[in-house]
Amino acid sequence: MGHEEKLVGRNNMIPFKQGDVDCSEEVETLVTMFRGKQHRPWRNKVRKKAAKEAKRKLREENGNERTISSSDVQIMKKKRKSRVKRINCNGSTKSGAMNRQETSGREGIDSSLFRYINEQLYTMSGAKAMELFRKDPQAFKLYHKGYQKQANKWPFNPVRIIIQWIKSLKHNGLVIADLGCGNATIADALSHIATVYSFDLVAANDRVMACDMSM
């Protein structure tokens, strides 16, 4: 048994003599090397499966991105519409506020003119007052407009009280002279039970006779 034997590990050949050399370590090393270089078919399947799974997830993510993008577009459109509505509402609100301010300003001017004209009437004669209103009929309208607004604020309107008192008399054929009648409110309320003559510096309507009541 002295002949040489050879152990082949692929291309590697290690000569040894049986019984003379302990080659267990070399054999174990070669076996390990051989096993490490063996192909493992199941690994390829696992890798392919993992690659497919990765591609599938990537497609899903791309699809979600597209969906999110479209939803974002819808949200932006809604926001834009709501912004336009807010702008329109704000514009209408601003115009409404301006109209209220203008109305309030006009009312303030009318009130000031009423007070001014009223003070003038207290300090001038009837003839001068009549001349004033004949020259400026608009001043008479402003005066009575202001008077009516003031009367609406009173807790009791004396004209209404007079009308109720006359109705309570229950006399037929009454003749009433209303001096400084304004819009002839008494004539409107009592013409069916009495004869009412309405006088003022300017005739505000057909029921009123313009005259100088101081004469």
Q: Tell me: the pLDDT tens digits for 46-101?
A: 777 777 777 777 776 665 544 445 565 566 666 666 665 665 555 555 566 667 77
Check whether residue 134 and residue 154 sit in a common domain. Answer: yes
Check whether residue 89 and residue 50 sit in a common domain. Answer: yes
Give, for 146, the enclosing helix (H) or strand (E). helix 137-153
- In a domain, residue 77? The reply is yes
Check whether residue 118 and residue 173 sit in a common domain. Answer: no
Rounded distance, CA 211 to CA 195, Å?
19
186: CB partners within 8 A, 6+ apart: 159, 162, 163, 166, 176, 178, 196, 198
Res 190: pLDDT: 94
- In a domain, residue 16? The reply is no
Check whether residue 158 and residue 190 sit in a common domain. Answer: yes
Last residue of a domain, one of 123, 152, 187: 123
- In a domain, residue 21? The reply is no
Rounded distance, CA 210 to CA 204, Å?
9
Check whether residue 111 and residue 93 sit in a common domain. Answer: yes
Closest CA to 167 of 186, 152, 154: 186
Residue with tokens 């505000």: 204
Reported as a single tens digit per residue, the pLDDT across 76-88 is 666 666 665 665 5
Give the total number of structural domains in the chain: 2
Global confidence as pTM: 0.50
Strands 174-179, 4-9: pairing is unpaired
**What is the span of the domain harbouring residue 70?**
44-123
All residue ranges of the chain with pLDDT < 50 are 1-14, 16-21, 27, 31, 37, 65-68
- In a domain, residue 24? The reply is no
